[in-house]
Amino acid sequence: MYKQHHHKYEDIIFCLLFFFCLYCISIRNKSLIICIRRFICNILSTSIYKTTKVMSFKDDLAIIRTIKFLRKENTEYKTRNKQLIDQLRNYIVIYEEYKKLLQLFQIKPIKNTTSVFARMFIRDCNEWYKYIIIDKGTSHGIHNGFPVLIFNKQQNELCALGRIQETYKTVSKVILITKSLTLFPVMIKNKNIHCLAEGNDSNILNITYIPKDANVKHGDKIIISSLSSIFQCGILVGIITKVLKAKSGDHFKTAKAKVYFDNNIIHQAIVLIPFKS
């Protein structure tokens, strides 16, 4: 009896569902279909949104890594660029030194001597026209009393600078010809007029013992005399800037001469070392 009732209810439910489906199809209940479709789309869109979020996060990480790499690379390029700038600056300095050395090597060699090129690295402002310190010493064959010259660009010749007074292993002290109480024999170029030059702690030398009737005028060149025991004859010293008249009763007159080395920045000196006999 129970089974009969059970089958009867099943048939009734089936019929109801069947008629409900037919009803839906007949009236085309779009709202229901739309609701079902939206429900399915919401479920699917949530998973798509999550997937997009994950992909977007991965893209952000990749961008961050790229920015970090580019910053590191930019820092490396800046460091390398600074190194190249320093190398270029050093190259320019070395090239300028090379050109100066070429000029020096083209100078006519002085007989019975060899040249040692030295760099001046100390020149006290308070002792500007008294002495300098060069970076060559006894280990380079330099000793006290050796003459020191400098290249004059305007005259394209060597000119007198001073003499070695103190020597150490790697440095030497050079007394300049402009130091006060420094006396050395000179002559007027092409006039065979011998006189004395005296330092005055400035770029001006006092030229003394010029014969009263000697033809000395502004612009005459002063060179080392053959009587010098330090410098070789003919080396440039300076140029006459003023001639003073002799006092009554004096047999000599005086003049002022500007030293040639004052027109140059003293950074490369030349020490003349005599050949050993």
Least confidently predicted of 55-69, 153-167, 254-268? 55-69
pLDDT of 250 over the 50 cut: yes
In a domain, 194, yes or no: yes
Please compute the mean of the pLDDT values over residues 161-179 and round it to a whole number.
93
**CATH classification of the domain holding 164:** 2.40.10.340
Q: Cα–Cα distance between 60 and 245 in angstroms, integer? A: 93
User: Could you write out the three-class secondary structure of 49-97?
Assistant: HHHHHHHHHHHHHHHHHHHHHHHHHHHHHHHHHHHHHHHHHHHHHHHHH
What is the rounded average pLDDT of the residues 175-189?
94
Instruction: State yes or no: pLDDT of 35 exceeds 90.
Output: no
- The last residue of one of the domains, among 106, 139, 154, is 106
In a domain, 23, yes or no: no
Whether 86 and 215 share a structural domain: no
Same domain, 56 and 151: no
Is 175 contained in some domain?
A: yes
What's the Cα-to-Cα distance from 165 to each of 4, 97, 146, 162, 202, rounded to whole Å?
Answer: 141, 27, 8, 9, 19
Q: What is the pLDDT of residue 215?
A: 92
Report, as an integer, the average pLDDT of 95-104: 60
The 10s digit of each residue's pLDDT in 73-88 is: 888 888 888 888 887 7
Judgement on whether residues 91 and 201 belong to the same structural domain of the protein? no
pLDDT over 50 at 2, yes or no: no
Residue-wise pLDDT tens digits, 101-124:
555 555 565 667 788 888 888 888
Per-residue DSSP letters for 135-172? S--GGGT--TT-EEEEEETTTTEEEEEEEEEEE-SS-E
Q: How is 190-238 classified by DSSP, letter by letter? A: TTTEEEEEE--SSSEEEEEEEETT----TTPEEEE-TT-SSSPTT-EEE
User: Is the Cβ–Cβ distance between 215 and 190 less than 8 Å?
Assistant: no
Count how many domains the chain has: 2
Which residue segment(s) compose the domain that 87 sits in?
A: 31-106
- The residue to which tokens 């580019």 are assigned: 70
Nearest Cα to Cα of residue 117 among 98, 90, 92, 89: 98
pTM given for the model: 0.60
Q: What is the mean pLDDT of residues 208-220?
A: 92
Question: Domain for residue 179, yes or no?
Answer: yes
Rg (the chain; Cα; Å)? 50
Both 137 and 174 in a single domain? yes
Last residue of one domain, picked from the residues 72, 106, 140:
106
CB 269 within 8 A of CB 132: yes
Question: Quick check: 167 pLDDT over 70?
Answer: yes
Q: How far is CA 138 from the centre of its chain?
A: 30
Q: Using alpha carbons, select from 185, 243, 237, 242 the residue that is nearest to residue 214.
A: 243
Cβ within 8 Å of residue 232, ≥6 positions away: 110, 111, 113, 147, 224, 272
Predicted pLDDT of residue 241? 95
Q: Rounded mean pLDDT of the chain?
A: 80
Asked whether residue 238 carries a pLDDT value surpassing 90, the answer given is yes
Name the DSSP class of 177. Answer: T
